[in-house]
Chain A
Amino acid sequence: MIETPWVVGTRPALPLAEGLGAELDELPPVVLDPAWSGAHRIEEWREGGRTAPSVDRAVVAVWPEVREPCSVVDLDLEAWTARLETTFALWFAALAAAGERCGPGGRVVAVVDRPAAKDSAGRAPESACADAVEVMVKSLAQVHHGRGVRMHVVTTSERLSGSPGPPLTGVVGAVGMLLSPGGAGVATAVLRAGPGW
């Protein structure tokens, strides 16, 4: 039996929350401009969560709207900031908050889009975010290791590739495994989930 996790993320992650039988605690719908003038909203969200009760299981899914592949030289600065820097900033704040909020012995799973390697042309923002999230989780796992908190990553190309089939089944299954009693001994895992080989 898996305890219903706290799922925090952006609105496109609602199907994931539903798949996990949870509500979505929605991040502020921030789109940063090149000066990051909207970043205070992320800080306000973070500060507002400091007094929230602790949780045993957390899932973080900062999922932007899926965009078409685009060469970096065709991305103007506003598009670049919206597509990469905004997502990066939200991920950093949300993961750090999840690590803090998770109680002793708890678990956190980040679910991030990762384009298939051979399909990553035009997907530089998504590739960069995926690598960054994996490493954010590894950093935070070191921070919270002393409290027995374990942190993991599930990557998926499912949203980016528009794969047919039951949506998110593989992702939900991978998250559920990491949060289950059987996953208690797994340490800082990075799992690929979704359709495909």
Chain B
Amino acid sequence: MTAGDGPVVVVTGASGGVGRGIAIACGAAGWSVWVAARRPVEGRRVAEEVTGAGGHGSFVACDVGDGDSVASALAAVIDQEGRLTGVVHNATSGRSPQPVVPAAVPMADLRDHVMVSVRGAYWLAHHALPHLVASRGSMVLLTSEAGFQGTMRLAPYAAVKAALRGLARSWAREWGHDGVRVNCVAPLAESPALAEAMAADPTMAERVLGRHPMGYLGDPVDDVGPVVRFLLSDEARYVTGVTLMADGGNAPIT
């Protein structure tokens, strides 16, 4: 069973956290949502939540740093659905919340950040673009407040998140004439990764929330998911190359 002729979207890194919230929010609109992740147990659980929210959830195994894995995952989606209208690249390295001293970051660790965020975007672009052209679909890349402001202890994470903004800006101009849109969303939301980062750095909670205008971390399903869904939808058909902040006004970027 599929969701008929409605949107069909793939969300990477959707087995938990912000990715899960995006998947469920898209499901709540009745969309067909593919939870693309490495962890099958957690991924299938989220797919069930998508279905429970009113959509059609499916799990597909995907390691975004591996081109063959991305190709295989997207082929499975096309085989089942016949089309693809949106791709959300949310996956990040498992090292993202780990504090580092920039001058001592092993190249192997930097590579891991790049593999998941940046090369993952490259593989998704390569393998999804023909299908997005066919559907006049869109791509959303998840960046971060850190991808604007930098961050003292998570410099590799901040750098790859910034790089995604640059990719989106260029790809929006590259693909616009084919009707394909590319945007970023910078969320600030509760997630296991943020919880881990705050546990590793006791000063982080105060830095993040101390002067937050709304005083709380966003909810991935209710505060961030709908923003991504908007960018994937026809409602945003004339929006491309931008970064939407979904952070409760926290980042001083306007």
| Chain B window 142-178, contacts with chain A (Cβ cutoff 8 Å), 1 for yes, 0 for no | 0000111111101110111111111101110110000
Instruction: Please determine whether A96 and B163 come into contact, CB atoms closer than 8 angstroms.
Output: no
| Chain A window 122-134, contacts with chain B (Cβ cutoff 8 Å), 1 for yes, 0 for no | 1110111111101
Q: Identify B150's interface contact among A43, A80, A97, A136, CB under 8 A.
A: A136
B window 106-129: CB within 8 A of A: 106-108, 110-111, 114, 118-119, 122, 125-126, 129
- Contact partners of B102 in chain A: CB under 8 A: 92, 95-96, 99, 136, 139-140, 143
| Chain A window 143-178, contacts with chain B (Cβ cutoff 8 Å), 1 for yes, 0 for no | 100000000000000000000000000000000000
Who on chain B is nearest to A39 by CB? B107
Q: Identify A36's interface contact among B107, B152, B165, B169, CB under 8 A.
A: B107
A23 to B148, CA, bound (A): 32
Instruction: Please determine whether A85 and B118 come into contact, CB atoms closer than 8 angstroms.
Output: yes
A92 in contact with B110 given A124-B166, A131-B163, A137-B150 (CB within 8 Å): yes
- Contact partners of B171 in chain A: CB under 8 A: 72, 124
A121 to B173, CA, bound (A): 5
Consensus secondary structure, chain B interface: helix
Q: Is A2 positioned at the interface, with any CB of B under 8 Å from its CB?
A: no
| Chain A window 90-129, contacts with chain B (Cβ cutoff 8 Å), 1 for yes, 0 for no | 0011011101100000000000000101101111101111
Instruction: Please determine whether B169 and A142 come into contact, CB atoms closer than 8 angstroms.
Output: no
Instruction: Please determine whether B159 and A92 come into contact, CB atoms closer than 8 angstroms.
Output: yes
Instruction: Please determine whether A135 and B105 come into contact, CB atoms closer than 8 angstroms.
Output: no
Q: How large is the interface on B (under 10, 10 to 19, 20 to 34, 35 or more residues)?
A: 35 or more
A73 in contact with B170 given A132-B160, A137-B150 (CB within 8 Å): no
- Contact partners of B101 in chain A: CB under 8 A: 143
Q: Identify A120's interface contact among B146, B152, B164, B170, CB under 8 A.
A: B170
Minimum Cβ distance to chain A for residue B246 (Å):
19
A155 to B67, CA, bound (A): 32
Instruction: Please determine whether B118 and A72 come into contact, CB atoms closer than 8 angstroms.
Output: no
Given contacts A72-B125, A135-B161, A140-B102, 5 further A-B contacts (CB under 8 A): A99-B103, A122-B170, A128-B164, A135-B159, A139-B151
User: Which 8 A-B pairs rank lowest in CB-CB distance, beginning with the nearest?
Assistant: A138-B150, A139-B150, A127-B166, A39-B107, A128-B166, A135-B162, A131-B166, A124-B170
